[in-house]
Chains A and B, each alone.
Chain A
Amino acid sequence: MYRTFISLKWKEFRRSSYFEAALAIKILMILGIIYFGGIAIFFGAIGYKLLQKLIPEVDPLLTVNQFLIYWILFDLGLRYFIQQMPVMNIKPLMIIPIKRQKVVKFLLLKTSTSFFNILPLLFFIPFSIALLVEGYHPLYVLGWFAGIVSLIFMNNYVVYLINKTNLYFAIIVGGAIIMLALQNYAIFDITEYAYIFFHGMYTKPVWVFIPLSLCVLAYYANYKYYLNHFYIDGAVSKKEEKVRALDLKFIDHLGKVAPFLKNDIKMIVRNARPKQVLLMSFLFLFYGLIFYTQEVYRDMPAFLAFASMFVTGGFLLSFGQLVPSWDSEYYKLMMSQNIPYREYLTSKLALMVFATVVSTVLSLPYLYFGWDIYKMILAGASFNIGLNSFITLYGGALNRVPMELNVKAKAFQNTNGFNLTQMLISIPKIAGPMIIFYIPYKLISFDAGIIILALSGIIGLIFYNPFLNLIERIYQNQKYKTIAAFAEKK
């Protein structure tokens, strides 16, 4: 029986959009997997030596054990965001004479092959081997490794229990932030305590039974839940949501754009995928932390210019590149109605500009890194509003990927929207601010670079109409292609 299931799953996998996708996308996907897998294996293998070098006075295993608690929370948070139980697939199996226990068990086992379980294994296996090579006791290392594996799978099952409401996500993220803050200000250091447990898995292998039983418990809770809700009005059903009423009357003053703008706002707040993009754009705000805190980049302001563009451009980039895919579910309606492309595009543009302005305000804390950095963020925002918005919309117009609005994107699914044109289009997005800043910076001064970058945004204002006309023309010329592409089911 399991063989039939496995063959079904194999077909599902083989015939999924990943494999049906164009060759270029396939190569990119494989490169992506090799990249992430490679990084994990690499750091797993040299992790021990690296830690030894960085913190010579402490046993590297101790350091790892100290920070495992954060890794577990981070892993859970990430899974919460992306991992979903593939319940809808079992609908056709419900009336077939197969024991439901078997179906549920298979479903749960199948989730263990998720990329989120394999990736940490790719790190911890070489790391454990490194431990053995360094002369740690094989039996204890084995115990510790078994504990880690249990924790990975515990997370795998726990996420299905808690991803029913956003409350737990807030608790996890909030908890992690509070712990980090307390630790940073040396008030309370959670790692001191967490470490007792994680290191305990090494020193007293009996402790392994704690994560192991937690993992089994999480599995069993899932098993019970899905067995009891194995009905089309239970766990298998699509959830009906409560309507979020929005009072958007104030937008009516904006004239012809108003109906589109109202629709776009509703689209964003009422669908899973755009909400995901919204959250992602929020994370972009923290992008600067990576660059501004490193001494290395202080002397390479071109990279800082690039980072500054990213800080305020998160929403603009991730939302804009999927215009008009956002409207793919009802594109035929849009195309048979009397819809002026101009107003349609203006509405999207307005949202992108608005988000950039909000991000600029939210990035005020970067003043901590000095006025120069914030000037750069402001100049980046100007570039985003004036130029990047049009470049992104232009790229989006060439991107004909149908989208299921109310379904969360899976890991790597984002690459679906990827093709050669997209790649070419992303070059000016990334290199643009670097070059615009770097040339006057080298020739004149830092401030000249900032001013020129800020002024580049004005080009967008001057050429507002020709730019929009250009994008409009793509929409018109590609109309039939786009309709046909959007009509394809995923």
Chain B
Amino acid sequence: MITINNISKSYNGVEVLNIDSIDIPKGQNFGLVGNNGAGKTTLFSLLLDLIQPTTGQISSGDIVVSETEDWKPYTSAFIDESFLIGYLTPEEYFYFIGDLRGVDKPEIDSFLSDFADFFHDEILDKKKYLRDLSKGNQKKVGIVAALIGNPEVVILDEPFANLDPTTQIRLKGILKDITEQKQTTVLISSHDLMHVTDVCKRIVVLEKGEVVKDITTTPETLKELEEYFSQ
């Protein structure tokens, strides 16, 4: 589904990312780990064509993302708060995203009812603007909005950060579900090794912009990762 080819990104001559090749097949649950500054967010921004690669290219489906915008209808993402519109209520935000992705109001309502547990009664009908929600609740809204309209590619940066334990566990369930049922390719990054190994079938470790490990998840993966990061 996603092919990364020879991609690199430099700022003022300093290289922050350099990946030879990664191929992510359709329906894979792909995890990205690495310390701060390893290049995780840079890679996701390149995937979404928010920054320009210095060399190389990324294809989604058969489309080179920096050339046309045809990948947008089937791709969605939640990277940070700049993906939220602060002056909308959560409901208004979901309807707006629905409008953009061709999902009408009743469909959104039934879609949201599936997430009642996940929202834990703190999101809907609260008469609050998104900018007044707590960080964790903002994240919940962003993640759920990224799932509207059955996208084929979902990109989530640090989805577990700021969430309470109950929600983290529920989120893991949701992420596993969507890849099993709908052939959705999910890309997430995380600092939480346990969650990543739980959810992802494949884990790539980045360090200083380069791929240092590319593992298919097995019961031993968590240990392997913990050892790697405690060096």
Interface residues of A (CB under 8 A from B): 240-243, 245, 258-259, 262-263, 266-267, 270-271, 329-333, 335-339, 405-406, 480, 483-484, 487
Contacts and interface: CB of A to CB of B under 8 A. Distances in A.
Contact of B79 (A258, A332, A480): A332
Given A243-B89, A258-B99, A259-B96, A335 B50 contact: yes
Given A258-B99, A338-B100, A339-B100, A333 B83 contact: yes
Nearest to B102: A338
Majority SS at the chain A contact face: helix
Interface in B53-108: 69, 72-73, 75-77, 79-80, 82-89, 92, 96-97, 99-101
B87 A405 contact: yes
A408 to B, nearest CB: 15
Nearest to B127: A243
B77 A336 contact: yes
A406 B128 CA distance: 15
B101 to A, nearest CB: 7
A336 B89 CA distance: 21
Given A266-B92, A332-B80, 8 more contacts: A263-B88, A263-B96, A270-B87, A338-B72, A406-B131, A480-B50, A483-B50, A487-B82
Interface of B: 48-52, 69, 72-73, 75-77, 79-80, 82-89, 92, 96-97, 99-101, 127-129, 131-132
Nearest to A487: B82
Contacts of A266: 87-88, 92
Contacts of B51: 480, 483-484
Contacts of B85: 263, 329-330, 333
B101 A336 contact: no
Contacts of B127: 242-243, 245
Nearest to A259: B99
B50 A338 contact: no
Contacts of A263: 85, 88, 96
Contacts of B80: 332
Majority SS at the chain B contact face: loop
A224 B76 CA distance: 51
A332 B132 contact: no
A262 B100 CA distance: 13
A31 B100 CA distance: 45
B44 to A, nearest CB: 10
A331 B45 CA distance: 13
A-B complex: 3 closest residue pairs judged by Cβ atoms:
A259-B99, A338-B72, A270-B87
Contact of A336 (B75, B92, B96): B75
Nearest to B80: A332
B100 A337 contact: yes
A480 B129 CA distance: 29
Contacts of B49: 335-336
A487 B11 CA distance: 15
B129 A243 contact: yes
A480 B77 CA distance: 18
Contacts of B76: 336-337
Given A333-B84, A484-B51, A241 B100 contact: no
B52 A480 contact: yes
Nearest to A330: B85
Contact of A259 (B79, B100, B131, B132): B100
Nearest to B97: A337
